[in-house]
Structure 1
Amino acid sequence: MRFIYRLVFALSLTLGVSAQSFAQGLIRDAEAEIMMERYADPLIQAAGLNPDSVDLYLIGDMEFNAFVTGGQNIFMHTGAIVIADQPIEIKGVLAHEIGHIDGAHLARFGDASRGALATMAMTVGLGLAAALAGEGGAGAAIMASGSQFATLDMLRYTRAQEAAADQAAANYLEATGQSGRGLVATFERFRYQEVMSRQRQMEYFRSHPLSADRIGALRRSVDNSPYVDVTDTPEEVDELRRVQAKIIGFMVPPAQTFNRYPESDTSVPARYARSVAYFKRGDLDHARAELQTLMDEEPENPFFRELEGQMLYESGFIAESIAPYERAVELMPDSPLLRIGLATSLIAAGSTEQLESAKAHLRFALTEEPENSLGWYQLSIAHQALGEQALAELATAERAFSVGNNVEAYQFATRAHESLESGTPAWVRAAELKAVAQPSPDEIREWNRNQRQRQPLAPSRGLR
């Protein structure tokens, strides 16, 4: 399962992002993604699908929800993770959504539903475009607006499709030696939604109609599985508790976090959540002290080191943030997100040696995630700081292309191609980008219109 930046708010380096902007929009976090991949990949394979072809997006929203959009895209709210009592509940919800993909249920909707889906995708795209342009607040507001996911109201699965997805989920779970009781437990927890008016129902149960008959049929199927009594391992439960604590620490007001995780609770998840809450409250000393107890107990944990680096970086201690990020990368060298975090600190520090090191880390990350727009943005800054203007323009073209902005991708690729040495790999790549990003007349007109709206009083040469 892939976590893609093409649709992800570019500044979401970690679950924390900036504390003010995290609560809305789409997020990235290495720790949460590793957990979700571990849950999802076996189920995707059991469905006969390629995990590399299924994309998962995490939405920073504390309401329970999960859904599939066009193609093979699964969206899950962080609320669905936090609400879960056990990992098998999240696995069950993922298995159900994979069942919708495998059953091609979205393809069966009529023209009105497809139009609604396109509207939703466009709304999300607008929000992300604003965020990528540096208007984080505007982007978050657009993505969090009522129209963002209200169009999902059109995407109501039929009861037959829900039953088919339930049965498919039970089959995938059985094929992977897991119990389906988690999905039953999730539906039981929310069965009161069946009797509520549509206006008061959670979005998930508007698009996934629930009924006592449906729950009963699913339970019978699950009870017939030879793996019905299989439970999650203690390690899986502990991993979930940590991710839940991290989400809560970043997403709810600190006072609520301290109420849920009082000082008397000395568990790892509780200290993890309190460390983040202190950081959000602006109390870096207490945040680091709480985190230090975790690092003392688990010195090989890369995510604790990453959090320390993030705290220091976002608090303005750039030089001090480098060492914890370096340790995180040392502990988990294959993580693109950790390398981008380290590169960001190195670029901000700004020496020639640090900039060269940042470029190396970014090249590794972008080989793993070529659509990571933040990685390309940071690489363009590093090249610019080193006086490598043509390479900076090429990285900017890559960034634009990664978010679907063909006009700017073509512009910057053309500039880079004109300046780079003929025949070099960078020159060849610039030529490739020019070819694949050639904007259509409609894209050029839309780009010109947007430019005029941004600067209504300034004459614009536009594109020809």
Structure 2
Amino acid sequence: MAAPKFWSRLASALAVAASLLIPPAQAHAQGMSLIRDTEIEATLRGYLDPLIVAAGMEPKNVEFLLIGDKDLNAFAGPGVIGLHTGLILESETPNQIQGVLAHEVGHLSGGHSARSGEMNRAGLRPFLLTMGLGVLAALAGSGEAAAGLVTSAPYFGTLGALGHSREQEHRADQAGAQILERAGVSGKGLVEFFNNFRYQEVFSEARRYAYFRSHPISSDRISALQAKVKTLPSYGKESPPEMVAEYDVMKAKLDGFLNPSVAITKYGEKDTSYPARYARSIAYYQLKQPDKALKIIDELLVEQPENAYLWELKGQILFEFGRAKEAEAPQRRSVELMPEAPLLRINLGQTLIALDDPAKLDEGIAELRRAVTQEDDNAVAWRLLATAYDRKGEEGLARLATAEYNFAIGQAQEARVFAMRAREKLSKDTPQWRRATDIVLASQPSKEDLRDLAKEGSIARGSIR
């Protein structure tokens, strides 16, 4: 399918799949990427949100970021907590991850921010959030859909700026232990996590895991923490079986996507458990063996026909291997099963706009519009909407969607330029025209822009300085 004329003028456009992982240029060089995946997010938010509540905060006010990086790391800054996939894969129990998250919530509740205020300046809003994993097939595959991959050097530079003093670490340990207890969770996992990496303190800075470069560890600190958590009533509590099951699935899914060759061996054919078969299906998909992957998924769907994530994965594989018409049905089913999951709706919307059918195009736009009402800063949804509107010849809405895209990723100048262009094509005083005006005003408008807005009465003349 030919690229839409509007997007052909955007040099940054690259092929993406229905569900993918975005590697910004600088971060990619370090093996780092920002990841979105509905299933994994649900598992990790299930760990995190009760801890945030126990700390006296609102979960909706704390953004969670999942970083695709093999290093063991986690971080906290104003309004954000992040976790690297390496830490998840190195962990041994869900309680260990809960412990680390509680420690990070302790930093957050204690106001332990990045050095020199760099965290605030970077604005850790997750502006490169897309729809899941599956990057290898996406980047090597067809160009059915186009979306820009935008660098986020300031964001990843901020990760390197994070660091805490030993005093802050002690306070976060103690706060984390209390947070776990208030949430009714054992603090044993936090101690186990630190004990497993006790040797880190004897390594040189260059050889330490990133987590222990920014979170200095010592034997005395571990002993003090252990003495604390052992006195708490919840110390002996075990993670519930359903949590352990979700944890096993999460690790299997990450292994399948991020370490497919290893996953094929690690989760061998003799292992007939659900996590093992799930990992193998994903690994085969990543290794460009879609038929093998789909065979396993279809077998799993016979057992779990109401599993939205299996339908999502089936649709994702079909779409990425050039079978968009076949992808539509499983993606519809995933949305039916989880109508409140915007990422699944974006998958469906992307497939519908890729089909050569005007009715499907309109339906795809409707799905994407619903998705951005749930996640108004989802950059890929706005990018896809711009593609769809341009395909319909609705230039004003295409440029407005492009302005929204740039606004979501923090590119103020580009957002302003496209919003001004959108205003030229949109009917005056419509909600869309007013939204374009709002983006201009929020995106460092030039004096000329402000004069133009003042002339038409959109702003008061006295507001121009």
Equivalent in 297, 304, 320 of residue 314 of structure 1: 320
Q: CA deviation at 1:294?
A: 1.3
CA deviation profile, 1:304-357 (whole Å, cap 9, x unmatched): 110111101111111111111100000000001000011010111131111111
Distance in 2 (CA, whole Å) between partners of 1:386 and 1:15 is 26
Asked if 1:386 corresponds to 2:395, the answer is no
Summarize the Cα distance change of 1:368–1:171 in structure 2 as closer, same or farther, 3 Å threshold. Answer: same
1:120 Cα deviation after fit: 7.7
Counterpart AA for 1:240: Y
**In structure 2, what residue type is equivalent to 1:407?**
Q
In structure 1, the residue matched to 2:169 is 162
In the other structure, the counterpart of 1:31 is 39
**Residues 348-359 of structure 1: pairs in structure 2 closer than 5 A:** 348-359=354-365
- Distance in 2 (CA, whole Å) between partners of 1:29 and 1:428 is 33
Structure 1: how far apart are the matches of 2:110 and 2:16? 35
Aligned residues: 416
TM-score between the two structures when normalised by the length of structure 2: 0.83
Task: Specify whether residues 143 and 430 from structure 1 end up closer, same or farther in structure 2 by C-alpha distance, changes over 3 A only.
Answer: closer
- Mapped to 1, the partners of 2:361 and 2:159 lie a distance apart of 44
Q: Of residues 345, 369, 374 in structure 2, which corresponds to 1:368?
A: 374
Distance in 1 between the 2:202 and 2:20 partners?
A: 35
**What is the letter of the counterpart of residue 341 of structure 1?**
N
User: 1:357 is matched by which residue type in structure 2?
Assistant: E
Match of 2:3 in 1: none
Task: Choose from 227, 232, 237 the match for 1:230.
Answer: 237
Query: Against the structure 1 CA distance between its residues 13 and 63, is the aligned structure 2 distance closer, same or farther, given a 3 Å change threshold?
Result: farther
User: Are residue 190 (structure 1) and residue 197 (structure 2) matched?
Assistant: yes
In structure 2, the CA distance between the partners of 1:17 and 1:276, relative to structure 1 (3 Å rule), is farther
Question: Do the aligned residues in 2 keep the contact of 1:24 with 1:143 (CA within 8 Å)?
Answer: no
Secondary structure at 2:205 match in 1: coil
User: Match for residue 207 of structure 1?
Assistant: 214
* Alpha-carbon distance change, 275 to 45 in structure 1, aligned in 2, over 3 angstroms: same
Cα RMSD for the two superposed structures: 3.0
Question: What residue in structure 1 maps to residue 304 of structure 2?
Answer: 298
CA contact under 8 A between 2:18 and 2:319: conserved in structure 1?
Answer: no
Change (3 A) 1:201 1:120: farther
- Say whether the 8 Å CA contact 1:13–1:337 is kept in structure 2: no
User: Which one of the candidate residues 339, 344, 347 is aligned to 2:353?
Assistant: 347
How many angstroms apart in 2 are the aligned matches of 1:326 and 1:314?
16
Which of 400, 418, 423 aligns to 2:424? It is 418
Is 1:173 the counterpart of 2:173 in the alignment?
Answer: no
Match of 1:395 in 2: 401
2:160 to 126, 129, 151: 151
Structure 2 stretches lacking a partner, 5+ long: 1-13, 131-138, 140-145, 448-465
CA distance in 2 between counterparts of 1:17 and 1:273 reads 21
1:379 Cα deviation after fit:
0.9
Task: Tell me how far apart the structure 1 counterparts of residues 42 and 226 of structure 2 sit (CA, whole Å).
Answer: 29
Is this contact kept in 2: 1:278–1:287, CA < 8 A?
Answer: yes
* AA aligned opposite 1:81: I
Q: Do the aligned partners of residues 332 and 65 (structure 1) sit closer, same or farther apart at CA in structure 2, a change above 3 Å counting?
A: same
Q: Paired residue for 1:436? A: 442
Deviation at 1:418, TM superposition (A): 2.0
**How much does 1:15 deviate?**
5.5
Report the AA paired with residue 174 of structure 2. Answer: Q
The SS at the match of 1:106 is coil
Q: In the alignment, what sits opposite 2:68?
A: 60
Indicate if the aligned counterparts of 1:362 and 1:379 stay in contact, CA closer than 8 A: yes
Contact 1:194–1:211 (CA<8 Å) still a contact in 2? yes
Matched residue SS, 1:68: strand
Runs of 4+ in 1 over 4 A off after TM superposition: 9-13, 15-18, 20-23, 117-122, 133-136, 147-150
C-alpha separation between the residues in 1 aligned to 2:392 and 2:243?
A: 45
CA deviations on 1:405-426 (whole Å, 9 max, x unpaired) are 1222112211221222223221
Specify the alignment match of 1:77 in structure 2: 84
Instruction: Give the aligned residue type for 1:151.
Output: G
User: How big is each residue's C-alpha offset from its partner over 1:268-307, in whole Å with a ceiling of 9 and x where there is no partner?
Assistant: 1111111011111111111111111211111100001101
Aligned match of 2:111: 104
Per-residue CA shift, 1:385-444, capped at 9, x if unaligned?
A: 112111111111111111111222112211221222223221221222222224368xxx
Q: Is the 8 Å Cα contact of residues 16 and 147 (structure 2) preserved in structure 1?
A: no
- CA deviation after TM superposition for structure 1 residue 105, in Å: 1.5
Deviates more, 1:21-30 or 1:387-396: 21-30
TM-score by length of 1: 0.83
Partner of 2:342: 336
- SS of the residue 1:199 aligns to: helix
For the residues of structure 2 that align with 1:148 and 1:106, how far apart are their CA atoms? 15
Query: In structure 1, which of residues 246, 251, 269 is the aligned counterpart of residue 253 of structure 2?
Result: 246
Relative to 1, partners in 2 of residues 1:370 and 1:359: Cα closer, same or farther, differing over 3 Å? same
Paired with 1:96 and 1:339, the residues of 2 have a C-alpha distance of 34
Instruction: Say if 1:50 and 1:440 are closer, same or farther in 2 by CA, change over 3 A.
Output: farther
Equivalent residue for 2:265, pick from 247, 259, 265: 259
Please list the CA deviations of residues 141-196 of structure 1 after superposition, one character each: whole Å capped at 9, or x if unmatched: x699xx847833xx431211111101111111111111011111100110111222
With over 3 angstroms needed to count, the CA separation of the structure-2 counterparts of 1:216 and 1:284, relative to structure 1, is: same
Contact 2:47 2:98 in 1 (8 A): yes
Q: Distance in 2 between matches of 1:38 and 1:55?
A: 14
Give 1:365's aligned amino acid.
A
Amino acid in the other structure paired with 1:222: V
The 1:15/1:97 distance shift into structure 2, 3 A limit, reads farther
State the Cα distance separating 1:45 from its structure 2 match. Answer: 1.3
Query: Which amino acid counterpart does residue 257 of structure 2 have in structure 1?
Result: F
Structure number with greater CO (CA < 8 Å, separation at least 6) is 2
C-alpha deviation, 1:258, in angstroms: 1.3
